[in-house]
Amino acid sequence: MFFWFRFDRDLRWRTGVQLLPVHSDSSNNFKITVAAMEEAYNNAAAENIRVKGVLITNPSNPLGTILDRETLIDLVTFVNSKNIHLVCDEIYAATVFTQPDFVSVAEVIDEIECNTALIHIVYSLSKDLGLPGFRVGIVYSYNDAVMNCARKMSSFGLVSTQTQRLVAGLLSDDEFVNRYIFESADRLALRHQQFTSGLAQVGIGCLESNSGLFLWMDLHKMLKDQTFESEMELWRVIVNEVKLNVSPGQSFHSAEPGWFRVCFANMDDEVMEVALRRIRTFVAKSAQADLAAKKRRSWQNKLNKLSFKSRILDDVAMSPGSPMPHSPMLRAQN
Amino acid sequence: MFFWFRFDRDLRWRTGVQLLPVHSDSSNNFKITVAAMEEAYNNAAAENIRVKGVLITNPSNPLGTILDRETLIDLVTFVNSKNIHLVCDEIYAATVFTQPDFVSVAEVIDEIECNTALIHIVYSLSKDLGLPGFRVGIVYSYNDAVMNCARKMSSFGLVSTQTQRLVAGLLSDDEFVNRYIFESADRLALRHQQFTSGLAQVGIGCLESNSGLFLWMDLHKMLKDQTFESEMELWRVIVNEVKLNVSPGQSFHSAEPGWFRVCFANMDDEVMEVALRRIRTFVAKSAQADLAAKKRRSWQNKLNKLSFKSRILDDVAMSPGSPMPHSPMLRAQN
């Protein structure tokens, strides 16, 4: 079973395991519900697919939200009732930058009755400490069979001694780690605020979030139709013309078209400003184009034989009065 | 199928694969013969074991010898005729310190007709460059299925970026690498000569070798009986009393008792001298003890009722005139 995120490559492609998304949408802020889990489970059973476990990211990728204690209890209770596994990817645990605080599934299973052998936590230094290249990952499982297997496989993925030395030194320095995590959270909070208010200026909303290195941006009003084809069409325009690489919701198996994941953390302030400006320009341009198209349709009704329709969009985008700034975009493209 | 070396942990324990040794012995300097391979193959078949491949180390661990071109051709021809795989561990390729030169299986399959999809080479920087902690290993396979699988698994064992950077810099420096390999070979040759001649002083022979970081030492004359029980007994004495950690042949599935692998390269000159002195002392002491035991048996025949027999060995070992040097051994033990 599968919620969001691009586990496709890591799991499906490597192992042949099937990943089934659990439905969630904006009506309840993309919360995971027991009803949706039961539905996904029953749908799988109806197709003779044996569900072996639930896989979540907490904080969520791509949502940037944390799972509250109640949802975690629901998840643990659900996997217990089905006797299936719960794999919690807590790789963004220390990116929570505003209240409420992060709750690990490890805390929840201390508080409720549960077969802990069904619970597995994965973690890494790549996000919280910004060290993806160090290739330091952690499996924390309450299951002896999993640990025995991991022990047998571990020597094929050992962390090199020089990396171990550096990481050991770094993690032993409590003061540094604490300062780093706090400073990182402060900067994430600031950047998040800058980005969401920059988007709000042109009427773009985002899912309210308090963690992660990304935003879940709502562009559904810009879709021609409320379909994933239109989402893909919009994505192509954003990549090819706006020159921004945001991820369309469907790549995370979103059930609702029009949402895009925007990474806001892995860039400096100048690049962020360029990106924000591009998005705002694009939205404003689209609004103008919409207006122009409406006018055009109205004119076409009146002047049915005149043929200047295809020039209007170009005119809007390329005119000297266009709000689309050319040079900084080209510069930042490289 | 399996020749020497402690692949037990790496393969049998992890995967459940069975490893079957191929018989070789001192009568032809432990050479791999087609007859022995056919015999092992047929024995496996008789036990309903489906042989999937042959696994060799070239240069050999624990022998310190290289496989000559003819043996490599035999191996490639053998796996071709059975349509099974040949995995060549060439991890000691650059430790060859005297003639003849190393020949890789990669050269042989260029020269003879062969289904290359059956051939796989593994390598690492751990031995040739003395960088085991860097965890940099290489699979060089001519088989697309193997490469596809390796590609799918590789991200679980990626070399960390800082290690990649260091290794890339190191390997790009041809002059350094060449000097390193030559200097290493020179030092291995010198150490090998010192060690074998040191052993020869007390009549200990070794298999003639020209590579690797170890010697294949012949102590069969010191066995009480020519059995693996006696080999284990001798090994215990060497570990507990001589305080040297050599590996008994049976841990490499040796078919002939009395051989021990001695690592001679991973120590400084002083430690090597201590180790050599201990071995020589031990052999000399054993010879004296043998003599004493013979005398004792002769006296016992004559003076059957006198009871000083148990003190003789102690007297020989601990007397001021004993050739056994106490302090350096104790010092080096730490």
Instruction: Say yes or no: B152 contacts chain A, CB-CB below 8 A.
Output: yes
- Per CB-CB distance under 8 Å, the chain B contacts of A160 are 133-136, 159-160, 163
Distance from CA of B138 to the nearest CA of A (A): 11
Nearest to A162 among B13, B155, B162 (CB): B162
Q: What is the pLDDT of residue B334?
A: 32
What's the average model confidence in pLDDT over A264-275? 93
| Predicted local distance difference test score (pLDDT) of residue B315 | 38
The number of C-alpha atoms within 13 Å of A45 and in the hemisphere containing its C-beta is 7
Give the distance from residue A14's alpha carbon to the nearest chain B alpha carbon, in angstroms: 5
Q: Are A120 and A90 in contact (CB under 8 A)?
A: no
Q: Do A134 and B162 touch (CB under 8 A)?
A: yes
- Output the pLDDT for position B6: 54
* Confidence bin at A293 (pLDDT 50/70/90): confident
* The Cα angle at residue B198 between residues B194 and B202, in degrees rounded to 5: 165
Rounded to whole angstroms, the Cα distance separating A90 from A9 reads 19
Q: Please count the CA atoms within 13 angstroms of the CA of B110 that sit on its side-chain side.
A: 5
Grade residue B328 by pLDDT with cuts at 50, 70 and 90. very low
How many beta-carbon contacts under 8 Å exist across A and B?
45
A314 confidence band (pLDDT: 50, 70, 90): very low
pLDDT score at B9: 65
Q: Is B159 on the interface with A (CB under 8 A)?
A: yes
* pLDDT, position A326: 34
Q: Are A134 and B161 in contact (CB under 8 A)?
A: yes
| Alpha carbon distance B61, B120 (integer Å) | 18
Select the residue from B125, B163, B170 to test the A interface by mutation, using most A Cβ atoms within 10 A. Answer: B163
Q: For residues A272 and A277, give the distance between their C-alpha atoms in angstroms, rounded to a whole number.
A: 8
| B187-221 pLDDT, tens digit each | 999 999 999 999 999 999 999 999 999 999 999 99
Residue B312's pLDDT band, with cuts at 50, 70 and 90, is: very low
Dihedral of the alpha carbons of A21, A26, A28, A33, in degrees to the nearest 10 = 0
d(CA B15, CA A155): 13
Judge whether residue B226 has pLDDT over 50. Answer: yes
Residue of chain A whose Cα is closest to the Cα of B9 = A152
Our CA dihedral for A316, A318, A321, A323, rounded to 10 degrees, sits at 80
Token look-up 């148990």 returns: B310
Cβ(A32)–Cβ(A67) below 8 Å: yes
CB atoms B133 and A166 under 8 Å = no
Give residue A285's pLDDT.
Answer: 85
Distance from CA of B224 to the nearest CA of A (A): 38
Q: What is the pLDDT of residue A7?
A: 67
- Which residue from A274, A205, A206, A207 is spatially nearest to A66, judged by alpha carbons? A207
- The alpha carbon of residue B134 is apart from the nearest alpha carbon of chain A, in Å, by 5
Q: Do B162 and A14 touch (CB under 8 A)?
A: no
Model confidence at A8: pLDDT above 80? no
Strands A137-141 and B85-89: unpaired
Residue B160 is nearest to which of A13, A135, A156, comparing CB atoms? A135
Q: What whole-number distance in Å separates Cα of residue A81 and Cα of residue A64?
A: 28
Residue of A15, A17, A163 for testing the chain B interface, max B β-carbons within 10 Å: A163
Residue type, B10: D
- Give me the pLDDT at residue A3, please: 47
Q: What CATH code would you report for A176-285?
A: 3.90.1150.10
Contact B63/B4 with Cβ under 8 angstroms? yes
In this complex, is the C-beta atom of A116 within 8 Å of any C-beta atom belonging to chain B? no
Report the alpha-carbon distance of residue A329 to residue B23 in Å, rounded: 70
Give B237-264 pLDDT, tens digit per residue. Answer: 999 999 999 999 998 989 999 999 999 9
Beta strands A214-218 and A205-206, pairing class: antiparallel
Residue B162 has its nearest CB partner, among A133, A152, A153, at A133
Interface residue B156 vs chain A (CB under 8 A):
yes
How much of chain A exceeds pLDDT 70, in percent? 86
Helix H or strand E encompassing B175: helix B174-200
d(CA A316, CA A284): 11
Q: Which residue has the higher pLDDT, A160 or A292?
A: A160
The minimum CA-CA distance between B9 and chain A, rounded to whole Å, is 9
Task: Using an 8 Å CB-CB cutoff, list chain B residues near A157.
Answer: 156-157
Other CB atoms within a 10 A radius of the CB of residue A239 amount to 13
Lookup: tokens for A330:
């080209």
A15: pLDDT strictly greater than 90: no
Eight-state DSSP code of residue A158: P
CATH topology of domain A6-173: Aspartate Aminotransferase; domain 2 (3.40.640)
Q: Is the pLDDT of residue A16 over 80?
A: no
Query: How many CB atoms neighbour CB A42 within 10 A?
Result: 11
Pairing verdict, β A53-57 and A85-89: parallel
Q: pLDDT tens, B116-166?
A: 999 999 999 999 999 999 999 999 999 999 999 988 888 778 899 999 999
* CA–centroid distance for B313 within its chain: 33
Domain boundaries, chain B: 6-173, 176-285
Contact A96, A210 (CB under 8 A): yes
Looking at residue B105, its pLDDT comes to: 98
How far, CA to CA in Å, does A170 sit from each of A95, A126, A131, A176?
Answer: 18, 14, 11, 8
Closest partner residue to A163 (CB to CB) among B13, B152, B162 is B162
Asked if B134 and A13 come within 8 Å (Cβ–Cβ), the reply is no
> pLDDT, tens digit, for every residue of A113-146?
999 999 999 999 999 999 999 999 999 999 999 9
Q: pLDDT tens for residues B43-99? A: 999 999 999 999 999 999 999 999 999 999 999 999 999 999 999 999 999 999 999
Instruction: Give the residue among B21, B92, B31 at the shortest CA–CA distance from B57.
Output: B92
Predicted confidence (pLDDT) per residue in A36-70, tens digit:
999 999 999 999 999 999 999 999 999 999 999 99
ipTM of the complex: 0.70
pTM for this entry:
0.77
Whole-number Å distance between alpha carbons of A25 and A31: 7
Residue of B nearest to A13 (CA): B152
Q: Does the pLDDT at position B330 exceed 60?
A: no
Q: Tell me the two tokens of residue A307.
A: 């043929």
Q: pLDDT tier at A6 (50, 70, 90 boundaries)?
A: low
pLDDT, position A73: 97
